[in-house]
Structure 1
């Protein structure tokens, strides 16, 4: 019996995965601040190993600044920027990339340690390998995103920002789910229940809303139509439609903001309905009920934060709080979906 339990669950592994999830959350927050301060294009090369060392001399700083002066963002937006001003945005991007490297190390080193000691539950081994591959892919996706703003654009492509942020939030959800699996062990019994499907659909809807939020951020769409609930005094913004369907869905500032608003209303209504229903359910355990109510509460707070952020034209502090709340919503919804599958 003891050997079965040792192979089926591991609380140290669960704690480690939650620590990695915290690092991913920090990456999301620093990445958001990097975007909001227009710092993401300050490092124009991808050097996974040597790039961990920042410029250490005046000559090295001048070399980095010279590379930045060659891209459209400097030439069209920041022409005349001083070296000191360049350094202020450079450090944001460097910190974001360094934190990414550190997150990889925080995952990989304990993974090897636990694997050598055979403390990783066997059913989770390949899932953890997959998470590591996705984490490594995230670095490549990040560079793919940055590269879109180095030649013809003055900012990164919104759809590439969506892919980069979407992968980060997917990793966060996978880490939380796997940590819960490691802590509790494999489910001994699952019973047919509509709650698992409801929670899964809510989780998918929340994730979709996060992707729409990334398009809003990528298009700087939060800087216009700052009235609410109308948009420029209209239900549908005047510049909603672009010349193509993809242009409307991914590049129209009015369209991406309207879509983000509409799905926010849907997510809020669905989350509150599920939270109330979960609390009244005679089928769910107390933990599931509390998680359902918590998701509804945090979604409501997030919706209010979103309105405030919009109406105040996306100040740095509120924007970061809005992104942090999105991560909390996703983590709670992940825990709720996990728990309802183990009734």
Structure 2
């Protein structure tokens, strides 16, 4: 037996076991973070669908944890809401009890956002100070902590767009807020997957990995388009499928000037582009599955493409159902939740092609 070792074998085995234990603990922690982020985004979707996002008109990161507790405090909070255009033009005369309904959605969303900060930040400090984080992971994890802080600012920047001149938030800022949340979510999944054991099957063909990358990019793009649809309330009109306004390609797609503005501010155009994005994503997922089944038959890589295609197909079906039923709350939230599930799987699928992170301590024994 020939061993390639730099220390006694039992010491290296002990070191490897410690690395594996640390990675397992970090995976569990990041899994909890991912689950909390999932809930946060879904509650954010409910906040949008129930028009609750402007019910809290002040940004109080610390004091805002405590909701109104007395009748006087509820009246004070409602009085602040009465000052903004949404109340004056849409909800004028709203009672305190009606106000509480929209307040609790927004308060819950903000509470979850604060909880994510604690769930991520405190364990990060613990693992860091105990020396349980590999050096190559420190910068990415600290970067995610900083992005989480920036996301809190982006959230308020989004809300502030609807407090003075508009009756809702800017669709541009809403899209930025959602995309940042999805990027943080995807990054946590990526790191968590990188620390998990990988299969020992042969690496996939370069073309297969390239299409997996394209699929992930298209998934992000489709979520961005969905954010514009939500921001413009575009899903509440043209509620037929496969025809839209009586045609496969409806008229009136580029009626605003300049023409490019229709891609962001014309509800009809935005919904149509979102539909096209769904068709493209489905076609690429189908191609990816067929490609992998031919080139990687019997491998875990090929099996994942089947699951990915099934998720894309299911998400398309949920999207169609959401549209034709005129976006009821339960369907809209299911559609948003499925988008996150699809995103997580697309990220893990692509990361699975790369292989496990190299060990900080390696043990090679050859007979």
Which residue of structure 2 lines up, in the alignment, with residue 33 of structure 1? 46
Unmatched 5+ stretches in structure 2: 1-11, 357-367
Of 268, 284, 303, which aligns to 1:290?
303
Which residue of structure 1 lines up, in the alignment, with residue 267 of structure 2? 253
Which residue of structure 1 lines up, in the alignment, with residue 126 of structure 2? 113
Which residue of structure 2 lines up, in the alignment, with residue 278 of structure 1? 292
Query: TM-score by structure 2 length?
Result: 0.88
Cα-to-partner distance string for 1:186-237 (whole Å, 9 max, x where unaligned): x9x9787233222111101111011000000100000001111111112333
Matches of residues 195-210 of structure 1 in structure 2 within 5 Å?
A: 195-210=208-223
Unmatched 5+ stretches in structure 1: none
Corresponding residue SS for 1:166: helix
Counterpart contact for 2:208–2:288, Cα < 8 Å: no
Which residue of structure 1 lines up, in the alignment, with residue 362 of structure 2? none
Matches of residues 72-221 of structure 1 in structure 2 within 5 Å?
A: 72-184=85-197, 193-221=206-234
Of 227, 230, 240, which aligns to 2:240?
227
Which residue of structure 2 lines up, in the alignment, with residue 56 of structure 1? 69
Question: What RMSD, in angstroms, separates the aligned Cα atoms of the two structures?
Answer: 1.9
1:264 aligns with 2:278: yes
| Alpha-carbon distance, 1:256 to partner | 0.4
Counterpart contact for 1:291–1:335, Cα < 8 Å: no
Counterpart contact for 1:278–1:288, Cα < 8 Å: yes
| Alpha-carbon distance, 1:289 to partner | 1.8
Which residue of structure 1 lines up, in the alignment, with residue 342 of structure 2? 329
* Residue 303 to residue 199, structure 1, CA distance change in 2 (3 Å): same
Structure 2 distance, partners of 1:184, 1:246, is 46
Cα-to-partner distance string for 1:14-65 (whole Å, 9 max, x where unaligned): 1110110010000011000011000000000111111111111111111110
Structure 2 distance, partners of 1:277, 1:206, is 19
1:304 aligns with 2:304: no
Structure 2 distance, partners of 1:214, 1:37, is 15
Higher RCO (CA 8 Å, separation ≥ 6 residues): 2
Structure 2 distance, partners of 1:154, 1:178, is 39
Query: Hey, which bits of structure 1, 4+ residues long, moved more than 6 A?
Result: 189-192
Which residue of structure 2 lines up, in the alignment, with residue 3 of structure 1? 15
* Aligned residue pairs, count: 340
